[in-house]
């Protein structure tokens, strides 16, 4: 699109501008003579300041009056040096040596580098509001990357909230390739290359300026080879350093010969140091309006009017390495879809859809290689987004299908401005009303009132894409467009972002989510691209589509391509496009091109012909022109025209080389390589190449030399060029341009066709260009051209004429990159071969589809899964998924604190064994960004309440985070559903659940995630043979049970938390807050699968980034570990089987006599009367006195308590009071207590040991009831029983003054499976899926009570023991500790059971120590019992190498 015609008001303003210009010219003489025409105010008395003006070289002067014409009086007021010259481009007024800042004190070392306080030197102010004290922070981020930033330590200033560039969380790098020196007075920072001592970056050439609205830093460089910074029209690629100043502020102004700021802002430049290739880059992270000045010192100056100074210096041994370093920092570019590399046709205002079809037909009939047709805003109804003209474009819904019939794609344009007016039929414009209801617009300065402007559709509002709610609205509008207009397009509509800021732009005091428009103006296109990318993911799940944006910012290339804007049909513009493309490859936006044949003005046949030739080699290749000018699509010039013939010729070459171009884009996407490359990147040792910008390379090997001037006819001579390091003339007639292949490279090719969908079916080949040593190297990246989810290649065969050929090739799969490397094909040149590969999930990619017991082929196939046993890896699942999970995402709503979405079941993919495992149809996903380092994602049935773990977490009442400081970014994959969490600083994906396993039913919930590495630690309580988990198909059950440590058997506690160490050393942790029976499977993918039989999925993730920080953040969430009393760190002695208190007394004396360090004595259940809690047996009547005695001697004493209470006694107050207080677990919907068999033995029994064990238990053991510690009444009852045992109200001499408690058997444990009369609900006790627990075939009731037992939460809500079983010990521990039971000192609690929060029970005034026997908790111990130790507590990368043989190519048929 172009500009509108001038209104009357605009014409008047232009006239006034001309008048002002004339007046300004008249005033120049007065100004130059030192008589200012304006009054200058200053905050300081200039007579108190004398500038020190040493003999500074002219080329090193730093301009002191960059904002206006310099005069002596202004120079004097600013305290600068005045020295007029004949050359007006040279600063006449320049800074003295006593402006700027000095280091206050010395540098202070930090974990990441250093910091220092800078104080402003006394000097006049240039613009007022100088900040007198600033903070310098230096970070040695990597061996090649140094960052320093200068901030106001007293006032928070705007910082760019970038998705990749943010706070550094690592530690200082070692083996640095640079050295940093900080100069004290005046302040300066100097960066030197260590290898040769060359100074690369020196700010001491000029003073630091740091005011509220004026920040400046100058940098002296080692050479004049400066490239980059934009967006501008640079007529040459290497900067002209002869005193040029380039403004940067995104603006809707077309390319011209003037030094205007254009559409985007790119603050990065590269400096080639010398012919060794050594290079470095400089990047300023700042989005405010700024200038970039270059001068012949050589030096550059950044001036900006807000934010902070945040510089990165990046070193490389070559220019290409510097670009790679930069893009690893700001975000690697997208991998375009293959079809988008085809040629495209477009224009603004075809007039009607009929005219568009005529263009399609005439270019199709000439067999023009041509993949996509674009329409501009004229397809819309009155230029309103998300509409189409029902008259002129009435058949638009079927147009895409029409194009698809020819293998072509359809692309539309979208502008951001949204009309406030009704539709042409008087109905309301729903896109506006929906946005209005969600308050997603940019607002006026009050932050409430939407800002109204005028753009194409008239009165408009502007979406605030920095607002997550706006992203949600934008995604839904895009989806509505797809559903209502494009449903017959087979969802093949794409978009271009245009008109991101109209020329007059928005008011600077407008308010957006990220801040004032003053600060974020130049981020508008960047934020819109991010939002639009989310929309594309919704409409094209799992596919790479197409997106270009006119406005860009640092890092935009991750989301979008770019075109060079509204150029003109002139020979100047065809030339200027090349430096523009080269620069955007530096910026990490390699999908770049200019409008072929020019946008404005009528083109000529010669210009358009030459432009079609060179444009065939633009990465983004599109012919586009404006309304009101002659058509310029190739066919309009005539089917037999030279233009058509040469266009087809060079487009066919492009299509032939698309495999090579696509491989270059893959390398850009994964490594940060450039695609279109300046000659100097490959031939930096030749100084002539340093300023070559009328030629360019594709990658390292294809040289494009276009005709960029009108030359008329010439003689063509196609031949090998042997000339080196000198200019030579190419004779290029009307239909020819220069293309040259570099020796030493192999170029993959494919037989061309009119569309990429056709050409991809054709044979492939290799062009091998040998170097002087008769060798060549090359590679090919190949996939389906559009998928984002790729499968592994598991096998490859080579055939020739249908005969299988022996091949010693190697196939290596890289799961993190999802790419296969195939090497060693050893094919003979000059012959044709066919390669066929098997593309399926490898064994490591198998996810178990039948994790239940007794899987068979029949059961597997009933679930729609694949049965295939693997003798080579018998531990891998024989029954595995071969299709996506059955859920998709609908209606995502974003906010600054997270997102909410609905998950919808696709019943055709659903799998279930019965109604209890039948997936729930609609679910809710909530993602909450609780803090910068912690997030939560929760999946639940929002229509039917389900059990959730009733344990509180330490969560902030409202999110405590800032977008720019978040350590993570979350994306939701739409179809199939998945969640992806990525660490922002490294790009590492640490959670990726878009896997086939996800299902959510009443009694079976399963979710898998890919892991960032094989280094996983945690989960319990089970016996592990090593600290790190074994990832080779191991499954671990979690369900509390009285089970002595045994490999693979679930034991006493329940800890669903793991910590992961990423490949780069960063760490994170994940907690699943679910207390139902569960198992977790590790597989070598690496991946992890959770399966649980109830509740919900409620995940919490902490991001460290160090292992120790992960533990700190985790315990901050669940509660800090107990601080044990000092005495509990001493040695402790215990056994089960003390005969009486005399034996204990004797033991104590013997230990003392032997001088063995010894602080604590225990007693087990032996001390009780028949193992009854809160009683003393006849043989332990002296225990109270013994305890008092050893305590007087400085020791401590601990007793044991079990939770179950005997119900067989005639006089047992603990039980009778429990019945009165209603404390016991009961059968559901009755008043009957559930009894099983635990302690004690019945009185006066003689055990017949010849009977079966379960019979002995049934005959000899008393009935035991289970206190429901979740009940409030139980809590009070239990506290009372403990207190009266400690301080006996009936007989003080029987008070047992213990110092701590040992609570055991609280899994809860039984000696009898279930209940006395058996359990009553088979579904709960033998659920459809029984996790991988010990004695799996016996159900959940092994050594524990029935699952249907009814318990009550503190608020009275009934819950099933099925859900809260693994909370039993946790619920007992809390009331055991909840009161101040003792008059002095900290107490001590040792529990058999643990849950996630058990170790945080000690948060009260008088704390006890909780000792636990589970990994990861303080105080874990082993007790010696009878001499034994027993715990009491799909892509392809082909690599080719070739030596000289006959023949130049082979053909490969791919399938």
101-109: strand order across its sheet: 101-109, 113-120, 133-142, 145-151, 309-316, 279-284, 266-272, 226-230
pLDDT value of position 1394: 67
Separation of alpha carbons 573 and 636, rounded Å: 22
* Contact (Cβ atoms closer than 8 angstroms) between residue 1437 and residue 820: yes
pLDDT value of position 260: 92
Average pLDDT over residues 268-281: 98
* Contact (Cβ atoms closer than 8 angstroms) between residue 813 and residue 843: no
Highest mean pLDDT among 30-44, 503-517, 745-759: 745-759
* Contact (Cβ atoms closer than 8 angstroms) between residue 927 and residue 1096: no
User: Residue 1445 — pLDDT band, cuts 50, 70, 90?
Assistant: very low
Separation of alpha carbons 599 and 998, rounded Å: 50
| Torsional class of 875: left (φ above 0), alpha (ψ -120 to 50), beta (otherwise) | alpha
* Contact (Cβ atoms closer than 8 angstroms) between residue 411 and residue 561: no
pLDDT value of position 907: 66
Taking only the tens place, the pLDDT of each residue in 600-659 is 999 999 999 999 999 999 999 999 999 999 999 999 999 999 999 999 999 999 999 999
1408-1412: strand order across its sheet: 1132-1133, 1160-1163, 1196-1201, 1300-1303, 1387-1391, 1408-1412
User: Residue 714 — pLDDT band, cuts 50, 70, 90?
Assistant: very low
pLDDT value of position 1392: 63
* Contact (Cβ atoms closer than 8 angstroms) between residue 708 and residue 571: yes
* Contact (Cβ atoms closer than 8 angstroms) between residue 440 and residue 469: yes
How many Å separate Cα 1288 from the centre of its chain? Answer: 61
User: Residue 1147 — pLDDT band, cuts 50, 70, 90?
Assistant: very high
Taking only the tens place, the pLDDT of each residue in 892-930 is 888 888 999 999 998 655 666 667 889 999 999 999 999
Taking only the tens place, the pLDDT of each residue in 1202-1218 is 999 999 898 999 999 99
Which among 583, 588, 742 has a CA at the least distance from the CA of 660? 742
Which among 1366, 1304, 1302, 1306 has a CA at the least distance from the CA of 1340? 1366
Separation of alpha carbons 1407 and 590, rounded Å: 63
Please state whether beta strands 1408-1412 and 1387-1391 pair in parallel, antiparallel, or not at all (unpaired): parallel
Separation of alpha carbons 455 and 715, rounded Å: 51
Please state whether beta strands 1300-1303 and 1196-1201 pair in parallel, antiparallel, or not at all (unpaired): parallel
Q: Is 924 helix (H, G, I), strand (E, B) or coil?
A: strand
**What is the number of other CB atoms lying within 10 angstroms of the CB of residue 1258?**
14
Separation of alpha carbons 646 and 638, rounded Å: 12
DSSP string covering 1177-1204, please?
Answer: -GGGTTHHHHHHHHHHTT-EEEEEE-S-
User: Residue 24 — pLDDT band, cuts 50, 70, 90?
Assistant: very low
pLDDT value of position 912: 64
Highest mean pLDDT among 836-840, 1229-1233, 1420-1424: 1229-1233
Taking only the tens place, the pLDDT of each residue in 1259-1295 is 899 999 999 999 999 999 999 999 999 999 999 999 9
Average pLDDT over residues 407-429: 92
pLDDT value of position 790: 65
Which among 981, 1058, 1072, 989 has a CA at the least distance from the CA of 1022? 1058
CA-angle at 686, arms to 684 and 692, nearest 5°? 80
Percent of the chain at pLDDT exceeding 90:
71
Q: Please say if the pLDDT value at position 503 is more than 70.
A: no
Q: Dihedral, CA atoms, 236, 242, 248, 254, nearest 10 degrees? A: -40
Q: Which long-range contacts (CB under 8 A, 24 or more apart) does 1151-1155 make?
A: 1152/1193
pTM of the full structure: 0.72
Separation of alpha carbons 867 and 848, rounded Å: 10
Separation of alpha carbons 130 and 314, rounded Å: 30
Separation of alpha carbons 901 and 40, rounded Å: 58
Taking only the tens place, the pLDDT of each residue in 1416-1425 is 222 222 222 2
CA-angle at 1125, arms to 1122 and 1128, nearest 5°? 105
Please state whether beta strands 695-698 and 803-805 pair in parallel, antiparallel, or not at all (unpaired): unpaired
Separation of alpha carbons 717 and 702, rounded Å: 19
Q: Which long-range contacts (CB under 8 A, 24 or more apart) does 730-735 make?
A: 730/705, 732/707, 734/606, 734/609, 734/642, 734/646, 735/609, 735/642, 735/645, 735/646, 735/649
pLDDT value of position 728: 84
Mean pLDDT, the chain, integer: 87
Q: Please say if the pLDDT value at position 1098 is more than 60.
A: yes
Lowest-confidence range among 69-73, 587-591, 664-668, 1420-1424?
1420-1424
Which among 751, 718, 708 has a CA at the least distance from the CA of 613? 708
Which residues in 742-874 belong to E strands, given as ranges?
745-750, 764-769, 775-782, 793-800, 803-805, 810-814, 819-823, 833-839, 866-867
pLDDT value of position 46: 39
Which among 385, 417, 11, 442 has a CA at the least distance from the CA of 252? 417
Q: Please say if the pLDDT value at position 348 is more than 50.
A: yes
Which among 476, 448, 442 has a CA at the least distance from the CA of 462? 442
């Amino acid at each position: 699109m172009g500009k509108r015609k001038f209104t009357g008001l605009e014409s008047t303003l232009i006239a006034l501008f001309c008048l002002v210009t004339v007046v300004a010219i008249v005033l120049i003489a007065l100004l130059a003579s030192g008589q200012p025409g304006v009054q200058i105010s200053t905050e300081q008395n200039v007579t108190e300041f004398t500038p020190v003006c040493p003999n500074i070289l002219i080329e090193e002067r730093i301009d002191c009056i960059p904002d206006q014409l310099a005069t002596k009086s202004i120079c004097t007021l600013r305290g600068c040096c005045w020295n007029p010259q004949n050359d007006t481009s040279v600063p006449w007024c320049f800074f003295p040596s006593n402006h700027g800042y000095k280091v206050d004190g010395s540098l202070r070392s930090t974990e990441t580098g250093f910091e220092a306080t800078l104080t402003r030197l006394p000097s006049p102010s240039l613009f007022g509001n100088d900040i007198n004290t600033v903070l310098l922070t230096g970070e040695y981020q990597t061996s090649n990357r140094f960052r320093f930033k200068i901030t106001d330590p007293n006032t928070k200033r705007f910082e760019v909230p970038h998705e990749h560039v943010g706070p550094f969380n690592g530690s200082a790098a070692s083996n640095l390739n640079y050295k940093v020196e900080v100069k004290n007075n005046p302040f300066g920072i100097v960066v030197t290359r260590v290898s040769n001592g060359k100074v690369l970056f020196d700010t001491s050439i000029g003073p630091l300026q740091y005011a509220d609205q004026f920040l400046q830093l100058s940098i002296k460089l080692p050479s004049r080879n400066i490239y980059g910074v934009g967006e501008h029209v640079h007529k040459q690629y290497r900067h002209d350093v002869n005193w040029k100043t380039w403004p940067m502020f995104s603006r809707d102004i077309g390319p011209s010969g003037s030094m205007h700021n254009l559409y985007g802002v790119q603050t990065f430049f590269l400096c080639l140091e010398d012919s060794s290739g050594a290079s470095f880059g400089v990047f300023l992270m700042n989005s405010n309006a700024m200038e970039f000045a270059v001068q012949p010192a050589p030096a550059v100056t950044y001036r900006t009017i807000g934010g902070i100074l945040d510089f990165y210096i990046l070193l490389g041994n070559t220019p290409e390495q510097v670009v790679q370093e930069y893009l690893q920092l700001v975000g690697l570019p997208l991998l375009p879809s293959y079809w988008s590399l085809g040629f495209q046709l477009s224009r603004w205002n075809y007039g009607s859809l009929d005219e568009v079809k005529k263009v399609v037909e005439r270019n199709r009939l000439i067999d023009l290689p041509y993949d996509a047709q674009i329409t501009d805003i004229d397809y819309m109804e009155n230029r309103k987004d998300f509409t189409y003209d029902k008259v002129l474009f009435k058949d638009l819904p079927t147009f895409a299908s029409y194009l698809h019939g020819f293998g072509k794609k359809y692309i539309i344009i979208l502008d951001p401005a949204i009309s406030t007016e009704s539709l042409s039929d008087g109905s309301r414009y729903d896109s506006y009303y929906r946005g209005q209801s969600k308050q997603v617009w940019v607002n006026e300065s009050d932050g409430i009132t939407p800002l109204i402007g005028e753009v194409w559709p008239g009165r408009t509002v502007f979406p605030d894409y920095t607002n997550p709610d706006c992203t949600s609205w934008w995604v839904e509008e895009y989806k509505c467009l797809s559903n209502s207009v494009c449903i017959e397009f087979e969802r093949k509509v794409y978009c271009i972002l245009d008109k991101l800021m109209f020329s007059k732009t928005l008011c600077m005091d407008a308010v957006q989510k990220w801040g004032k428009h003053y600060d974020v103006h130049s981020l508008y296109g960047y934020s819109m691209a991010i939002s639009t990318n989310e929309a594309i993911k919704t409409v094209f799940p799992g596919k790479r589509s197409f997106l270009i944006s006119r406005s860009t910012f640092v890092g935009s290339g991750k989301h979008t391509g770019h075109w060079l804007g509204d150029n003109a049909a002139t020979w100047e513009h065809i030339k200027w496009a090349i430096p523009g493309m080269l620069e955007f490859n530096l910026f990490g936006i390699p999908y770049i091109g200019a409008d072929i044949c020019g946008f404005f003005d009528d083109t000529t046949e010669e210009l358009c012909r030459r432009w079609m030739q060179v444009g065939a080699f633009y990465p983004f290749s599109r012919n586009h022109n404006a309304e009101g000018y002659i058509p310029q699509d190739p066919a309009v010039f005539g089917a037999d025209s030279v233009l058509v013939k040469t266009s087809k010729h060079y487009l066919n070459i492009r299509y032939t080389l698309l495999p090579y171009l696509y491989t270059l884009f893959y390398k850009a996407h994964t490594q940060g390589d450039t695609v279109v490359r300046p000659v100097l990147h490959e031939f930096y040792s030749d100084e002539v190449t340093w300023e070559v910008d009328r030629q360019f390379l594709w990658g390292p090997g294809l040289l494009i030399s276009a005709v960029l001037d009108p030359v008329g006819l010439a003689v063509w001579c196609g031949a090998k060029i042997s000339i080196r390091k000198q200019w030579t003339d190419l004779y290029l007639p009307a239909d020819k341009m220069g293309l040259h292949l570099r020796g030493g490279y192999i170029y993959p090719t494919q037989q061309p066709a009119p569309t990429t969908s056709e050409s991809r079916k054709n044979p492939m080949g290799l062009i091998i260009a040998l170097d002087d040593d008769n060798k060549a190297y090359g590679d090919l990246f190949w996939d389906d051209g559009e998928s984002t989810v790729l499968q592994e290649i598991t096998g490859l065969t080579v055939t020739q004429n249908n005969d299988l050929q022996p091949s010693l090739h190697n196939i290596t799969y890289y799961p993190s990159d999802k790419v296969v490397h195939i090497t060693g094909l050893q094919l003979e040149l000059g012959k044709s071969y066919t390669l066929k590969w098997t593309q399926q999930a490898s064994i490591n990619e198998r996810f178990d589809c039948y994790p239940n017991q007794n899987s068979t082929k029949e059961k597997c196939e009933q679930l729609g899964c694949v049965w295939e046993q693997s003798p080579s890896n018998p531990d891998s699942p024989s029954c595995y998924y071969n299709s996506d999970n059955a859920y998709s995402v609908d209606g995502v709503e974003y906010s600054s604190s997270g997102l909410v979405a609905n998950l919808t079941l696709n019943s055709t993919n659903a799998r279930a064994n019965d109604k209890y495992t039948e997936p729930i149809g609609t679910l809710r996903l909530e993602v909450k960004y609780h803090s910068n380092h912690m997030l939560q994602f929760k999946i639940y049935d929002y229509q039917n309440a389900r059990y959730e773990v009733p344990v509180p977490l330490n969560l902030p009442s409202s999110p405590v985070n800032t977008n720019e400081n978040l350590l993570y970014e979350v994306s939701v994959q739409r179809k199939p559903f998945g969640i992806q969490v990525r660490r922002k600083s490294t790009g590492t994906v640490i959670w990726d659940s878009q896997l086939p396993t996800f299902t959510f039913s009443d009694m079976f919930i399963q979710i898998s995630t890919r892991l960032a590495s094989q280094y996983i630690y945690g989960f319990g309580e089970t016996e592990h043979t090593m600290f790190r988990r074994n990832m080779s198909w191991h499954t671990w059950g979690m369900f509390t049970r009285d089970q002595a440590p045994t490999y693979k058997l679930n034991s006493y506690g329940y800890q669903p938390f793991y910590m992961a160490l990423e490949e780069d050393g960063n760490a994170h942790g994940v907690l699943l807050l679910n207390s139902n029976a569960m198992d977790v499977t590790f597989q070598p993918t690496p991946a992890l699968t959770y399966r649980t039989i109830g509740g919900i999925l409620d995940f919490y993730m902490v991001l460290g980034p160090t292992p120790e920080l992960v533990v700190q953040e985790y315990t901050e969430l669940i509660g800090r570990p107990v601080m044990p009393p000092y005495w509990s760190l001493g040695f402790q002695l215990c056994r089960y089987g003390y005969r009486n208190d005399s034996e204990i007394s004797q033991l104590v004396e013997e230990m003392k006599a032997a001088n063995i360090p010894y602080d604590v004595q225990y007693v087990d259940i032996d001390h009780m009367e028949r193992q009854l809690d809160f009683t003393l047996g006849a043989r332990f009547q002296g225990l109270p006195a013994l305890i008092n005695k050893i305590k007087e001697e400085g020791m401590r004493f601990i007793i044991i308590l079990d939770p179950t209470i005997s119900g067989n006694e005639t006089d047992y107050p603990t039980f009778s009071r429990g019945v009165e207080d209603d404390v016991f677990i009961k059968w559901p919907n009755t008043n009957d207590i559930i009894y099983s068999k635990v302690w004690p033995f019945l009185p006066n029994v003689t055990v017949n040991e010849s009977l079966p064990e379960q019979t002995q238990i049934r005959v000899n053991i008393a009935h035991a009831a289970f206190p429901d510690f979740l009940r409030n009444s139980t809590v009070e009852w239990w506290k009372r029983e403990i207190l009266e045992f400690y301080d006996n109200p009936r007989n003080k001499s029987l008070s047992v003054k213990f110092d701590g408690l040992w609570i055991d058997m609280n899994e809860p444990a039984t000696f009898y499976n279930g209940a006395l009369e058996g359990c009553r609900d088979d579904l709960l006790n033998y659920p459809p899926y029984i996790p991988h627990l010990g004695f799996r075939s016996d159900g959940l009731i092994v050594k524990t009570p029935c699952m249907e037992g009814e318990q009550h939460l503190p608020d009275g809500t009934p819950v099933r023991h099925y859900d809260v079983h693994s909370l039993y010990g946790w619920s007992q521990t809390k009331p055991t500790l909840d009161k101040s039971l003792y008059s002095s000192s900290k107490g001590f609690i040792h529990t058999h059971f643990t849950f996630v929060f058990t170790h945080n029970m000690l948060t009260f005034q008088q704390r006890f120590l909780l000792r636990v026997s589970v990994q990861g908790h303080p105080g874990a111990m082993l007790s010696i019992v009878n001499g034994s130790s027993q715990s009491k507590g799909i892509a392809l990368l082909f690599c080719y190498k070739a030596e000289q043989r006959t023949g130049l190519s082979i053909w490969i048929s791919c399938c």
